[in-house]
Chain A
Amino acid sequence: MHPISPQLAFVQDQLQIAALTFMAAVYALKIRWILKFPAGRDRQAPTGDADPARGARYSLAAIAMPWAMPGARRHPLFYLQFVVFHLAVAASIAMSFLIPYAPQAIAHPVAVRALQLLFAAALAAGLLRLLRRLRNPYLRAISTPDDYFSLALLLVWLALSILAAPNRPEQGEGPLLAYFLLTAFFLVYVPFSKISHYIYYPFARWYLGRTLGHRGVYPLKRSRPAQA
């Protein structure tokens, strides 16, 4: 294995650990903050044999059931972009651990190519999203600087992920250094940005599912065609 510079060793190990620790601490505080607010109660009687827990489970799983979400059914391409984008982000997060601690796991050229393909597809999806946000008047009206910055940052990160995936420091450490520096920045910035939505996601969907489960709406009975 090719020896790496002390700078790269630092950014892919100690710096990541420090940033992760910071992020974990902020998230712990954030979860504590969320739990400080009282959970609302459903004031109405349950509908029939309604099951709030089942509704909550269904709600959590809904993201993987595009047929269950009218928005995803109506915009399948957008849903596909969503899937690719988030899979790539998850893969890049995993890669930031694998490169320093288990580089052999993604050393095979096929794995490298697969990762690069996924990152490239996500980059394309992200660019489409950015374009949509810039062109669609509804989205422009609700977009904040944080929305644009977070998306742009992710696009740069995905581009760097493509370059970092081969993990070839001997050919130049620049891409790896940039990738890990940006990863560390993400870990610090994310808890304060819209990207932290994944920390809210399980809670928000759980509570919506619990409410709609209690009311007999979840699991959703889909709209049936008029001809049926």
Chain B
Amino acid sequence: MQQVRSWKAQKVIERLSQKINRQILLSLEACVHCGLCTDQCHYVLANPDDVTYAPAYKADQIRKFFKAHLDWTGRAFPWWVGARSLYTDQELEDLKDTVFGKCTNCRRCSLACPMGVDMATFNRMARGLLSWVGVMPEGVAVVAKDQWEIGNQMGVLKEDYLETLKWMEEELQEEYHDPAIRIPVDQPDCNVVYAINPEPVTYHDSCNNARSCGMFEEPRELLRLVCLDFREMYPNRAENYCCTGGGGAMSMSEYAPRRLKSARVKAEQLRATGAKIVVTSCHNCVDGLFDLIRHYKLDMQVKLLVSLVANALVAPVRVPVPAARRPLEGRTILVIDDEPDVRLYLSKIFAEQGCEVMDAPDANQAMRAIKSRKPDLITLDLVLPRKTGEKLYWELRRDPLYRDLPVVVVSGYASIESPRIDFHGFLREKGLPDPEGFIEKPVDVEKLLETVRCALQDSRRAQG
């Protein structure tokens, strides 16, 4: 009798093949179950009697439904290779428990794998599949939204960050009675002078910055400048153990006891250094280490590298800081989109580049805004309530006043092949020129800014 599949499980299975790329496919196919990854994982080391923490076991929870649907042998003889599809919501919950609650995507197991299985890549894919149907820890949903909309999991806007720096700058000026003190941001060739920290310091290589981004020696270089007694922990660099707070673990309170238990490995590693300060370059690690230091009662503080360096800074030379001109300064852009989130998102992107931003939720309001103050460029969503973006575009191109106004179409239906809106067909039919750019949603920020800059430059050349 065929087993009935829940709606969520069905959606996960349907989306599986869309999410798999070549690297994920190979990582799912290549495992030979040799078990060399087992003792590389901090969860295993802290829970030696529970096989479900082994990286290969966790990977197999994803692998088995991949095999049931895509692998040749798995489809023909599922029992032979341990393939099994997903059917129930409970199975999705169990998978959630594995991919969110038993792995921090630290990639340590991948370095030990002779086959080159990249566990973090497909664990992330599995997280994506589950999130697609709403099966995810609530905390992750919140931070993921901040990360997506604002660009960091703390939900700190760039403006807020710069404002905080400005505020710190003023505090420093007051504290040292020196109005010339500056905190230069993105200024090349600034001189930095350090004072030395006398306490024993060790460095924790973050999984993100070190094992996944190769930043090994730079922080050590800085630490040797600002510390008298720098001690390596062991293992270190790419082989360091995870702080246990990565992969969103700090935002999943339901897994906190499990996380802290697995942190025993890290605690022993820290204790062995005899250091009084553990420094790291990752904010997640700070939280993870802080938690485990408190839990295991280590006589140790955790500090961000940047804090330690900032504390050590002295500024004997006053360097005038020239005000930097931002790339779109002096320009006005009108963002036309019916979705408030998108308007806010695009407006922030353009505002960060220094330009003035207007926005409009529909074509009528957009036309009024354009007539009241002609922008230098507009971004146009094609799907608008009442009057569509296509019609607005047509009106603008017919009007001698706005014929040359650069338009960048930002839409989920901007592509030529879009089945829902044949914008190019519309342009051909009306004999209209192509707009200055097409950007598909979700927006690639760099591509958007590059397109806008080019459109503005072309427009300037055409005028001048």
Closest beta carbon of chain A to B127's beta carbon, Å: 16
Tell me the nearest residue of chain B to A203, going by C-beta: B26
Q: At the interface, yes or no: B179 with Cβ under 8 Å from chain A? A: no
Q: Which residues of the other chain, B, contact A47 by a CB distance below 8 angstroms?
A: 213-215
A137 in contact with B51 given A75-B36, A223-B235 (CB within 8 Å): yes
A223 adjacent to B22 (CB under 8 Å)? no
Q: Scan A63-92; emit 1 where CB is below 8 A from any B CB, else 0.
A: 100000111101100100010000000000
B81 to chain A, nearest CB (A): 5
Q: A47-B214, A71-B40, A224-B237 are in contact. Are A138 and B21 (CB under 8 A)?
A: no
A226 touches B233 (CB 8 A): yes
Report yes or no: B22 in contact with A215, Cβ–Cβ below 8 A.
no
- A200 & B115 in contact (Cβ 8 Å cutoff): yes
Stretch from B52-60, B311-319, B342-350 at the A interface: B52-60
- Describe A's contact surface by its main secondary structure: helix
Question: How many A-B contacts at CB < 8 Å in the complex?
Answer: 178
Is A48's beta carbon under 8 Å from chain B? yes
The answer, yes or no, to whether B362 is at the interface (CB within 8 Å) is no
Tell me the complex Cα distance, A140–B237, Å: 32
Bound form: Cα–Cα A145–B80 in Å: 5
Q: How far is the CA of A221 from the CA of B110 in the complex (A)?
A: 15
Interface size on A, residues (CB 8 A): 63
Once the chains bind, are A142 and B118 in contact (CB under 8 Å)? no
**Bound-state Cα–Cα, A189 to B35, Å:** 23
CB neighbours of B24 from chain A (8 A): 40
User: Provided the pairs A194-B32, A216-B213 are in contact, do residues A70 and B25 lie with their beta carbons within 8 angstroms?
Assistant: no
B416 at the A interface (CB under 8 A):
no
Q: Please, could you name 29 A-B residue pairs with CB atoms under 8 Å apart, sorted by A?
A: A34-B22, A37-B22, A40-B21, A40-B121, A44-B213, A47-B214, A59-B116, A71-B113, A74-B112, A78-B36, A132-B35, A141-B51, A141-B54, A141-B57, A142-B33, A143-B33, A144-B80, A144-B81, A193-B73, A197-B115, A200-B26, A201-B30, A204-B30, A204-B115, A207-B26, A212-B212, A215-B212, A224-B237, A226-B234
The 10 closest A-B pairs by CB, nearest first: A216-B214, A71-B112, A71-B36, A205-B116, A223-B235, A40-B21, A208-B116, A144-B82, A226-B234, A200-B30
